[in-house]
Amino acid sequence: MKTEIIKITDTAYGGSGVGRNAEGKAVFVPFTVTGDIVSAKTTQDKGSYETAELVEVKEPSPLRTEPRCIYHGVCGGCHFGHIRYDKQLEIKENILKQALRNHPQKTGLPEIAVFTGKTTDYRIRANVRALNGNVGFYKGGSNKFVPVKQCPAIKHELFSKCAAWAEKYSPDTICSLSVVENPIGEAIALIEGKGSLPCVNTEKPFDGVKCGAEQYGIKHLPYKTPFGVAPVGYGGFFQSNIFLNDIFQKYAAESATGQKILELYAGSGFFTSALAKKADVFAVEANAEAALLGQKYGYPINHGHTASAEIKKGQYDTVFADPPREGMDKKTISALMELAPDQIIYVSCNPMTLARDLNRLSGKYAISATAIFDLFPDTYHIETVVLLEQII
C-alpha cells in the first residue's frame, strides 16, 4: 500500500481526521486532527475514499495536546485523546450540526447546549479483556490483545478491581469482563469467553460475578439516582459517566411536560425512575430480562416491541425514547406518527441515526431544543437529547 503526505482538514464521526491525497480522493486517518500534516499509509481503497494508518505527524496542528494516556494510539479507545478538550467539544457539536444539516425545519434549528464534567476517572461501566494475569483491550481494528496497567477513562477503583481479578483468575485464552460500579463502590462483572472460565465467588474484587449459567454474589446492582434506585443487570446497558449521569437523567426527564408518558426502550429503569415521579408512565422494553428487573424495583416497565398494538391503543401527551445506536425502526416511527403525542423526547447516542429519524418525524414535529452531554471525553461518542414539539 502507498504512503502519502496528507493535510488534515476535518474530523469525521468515528474519530478519524479527513484530508485529500494527490488525486483529490478523501482519506480517513485515525489519531489526527484539523491542521495536521501527516504521513499516512493506505490500508483500504473504498473507491470513493481511502482509509489509512498514521505513520508520522510531519507538522502538528495547534489543536493537538499531549495524550493523558500512555497507551493512546495503541489501545482501541479514546480516538480524540490527542486533541485539546475544547476542540473535542467543538468537533462533536459540528458533527451533530452536519448530521442535522438536511433537516427541513423552516424556522431554523435551535442552538445546541453542551454539558461537560470531569474528563478522567469518569467511566463506571466498561468492557475490558483479560489474559494470562493481565487486563487490557484490543488494539484498534484488530483482535490483538494489548495489556495495560492503567486507563484514565475508567474510574480508578473499578479498573483496580478488574486488574486484581485478572491477576488472580484470568485464563490463558482471552475473556471479557463487562463491569459496572455504583456510586457507593459496589461492582458486578459478567465474564465471557471461550474454553474453561474461572467463575468464582469472590468477595473481592467484585460484589457479584456471572459466568455462563453460574452466578455468585449479588444478583444485580442497585444504582441510586436523585429520583430513585435504578437496577443494573449483568451485561445490561447503563449510562457510564459518574459525573454526568444525574444531570443527564434530570435534564432529559424534566424536559417531559405531559401528564401521561409513553417511554420506549426503557431498559431497567434509569429514566423511568425520574419520569414516574412526575407523571403516569407506561414503559416498554424489548429485553425481557431488563424489563423484569425494572418491574422488581416497582417500575411500570412492560416487555414488548416499541411498535406493539398496546402502544397504539394508548393516549399519551409525551413519548420518551432512548433507542440503541441503530435508532428507531420504521414501524416505531409510523406508530409514533399515528399516536401523535404533543411532545417527543429523543435521547440518542448516534447522530447519524438521530438525524435520519428526526427527518422522518419532521412532517409532524419541530425541534425545539437540543443538548449534547459529553459522557465520553477523549472519544468520538456523542450523547444527545432532542426535544420535539408537534407542529400545530
Residue 309 CB: number of other CB atoms within 10 A?
Answer: 9
- In the chain the first and final C-alpha atoms are separated, in Å, by 57
Place of cell 490527542: 82
- Cα(284)–Cα(334) distance, rounded to whole angstroms? 17
Contacts 24+ apart (CB under 8 A), 362-365: 362/103, 362/104, 362/105, 363/337, 364/337, 364/340, 364/390, 364/391, 365/389, 365/390, 365/391
Q: What's the one-letter identity of residue 136?
A: G
> Exposure pattern of 3-35 as b/e (b: 16+ CB <10 Å)?
ebebbbeebbbebbbbbbbeeeebbbbbbbbbb
Cell numbers representing residue 3 in the block: 504512503
Contact (Cβ atoms closer than 8 angstroms) between residue 294 and residue 267: yes
DSSP track, 29-97? ETT--TT-EEEEEEEEE-SSEEEEEEEEEEE--TTB---SSTTTTTBS--TTTTB-HHHHHHHHHHHHH
- Cα(39)–Cα(23) distance, rounded to whole angstroms? 16
Contact (Cβ atoms closer than 8 angstroms) between residue 124 and residue 181: yes
- Cα(25)–Cα(42) distance, rounded to whole angstroms? 12
Tell me the catalytic residues.
349, 383
